[in-house]
Amino acid sequence: MMLWCYLMVVFTDPGAVPENWRHAAEEDDMDESNTRTISNDVATDIVNPPLFTSEGQGNASRYCSRCQNGKPPRCHHCSICDRCVLKMDHHCVWVVNCVGARNYKYFLLFLVYTFLETVLDTLVLLPSFITFFRDESRRSSSASDVAILFLAFGMHTSLVASNTTSIEPWFAS
């Protein structure tokens, strides 16, 4: 089930905004006024796009300058996918896809199944860990083994802190 949910998150479209989408309030206004035509409205919106509004302003129309299209409520533009996504939660690098309206359920199920699998693995391996660390007292570890462990840990900590890899210090000019 975990693998199935992962594949569904990866391959399910998160939800795209239909081309030339308009807010229902805009469509009602166009139906009531006979002085303007749809083609004039589209041309006006391209030349003078509606102002951006915040999420909390209710039914105010929004416009995406990148997609050149209207934006429904709770829709956001993903800079990685370069498109607007309905009910976008986030772009997940682990599934290489946006999490949106159409794949959110699969994403949550994937997280639940992953958590359950991790708990199951921990419970299965727990007796082996207990046995291993109980026998640790019978093994001798020299001071040099402990020193090497701390030096390796310290080196990798400094590499992470300086945002470099273990290869870069050798080839730095």
* Residues labelled as active-site residues: 92
d(C-alpha 37, C-alpha 19), whole Å:
18
The size of the chain, in residues, is: 173
d(C-alpha 118, C-alpha 124), whole Å:
10
Cβ neighbours for 60, distance < 8 A, ≥ 6 positions apart: 53
Cβ neighbours for 86, distance < 8 A, ≥ 6 positions apart: 14, 15, 16, 17, 72, 74, 75, 100, 101, 102
Six token digits for residue 69: 């299209």
d(C-alpha 79, C-alpha 90), whole Å:
11
Q: DSSP code of 155?
A: H
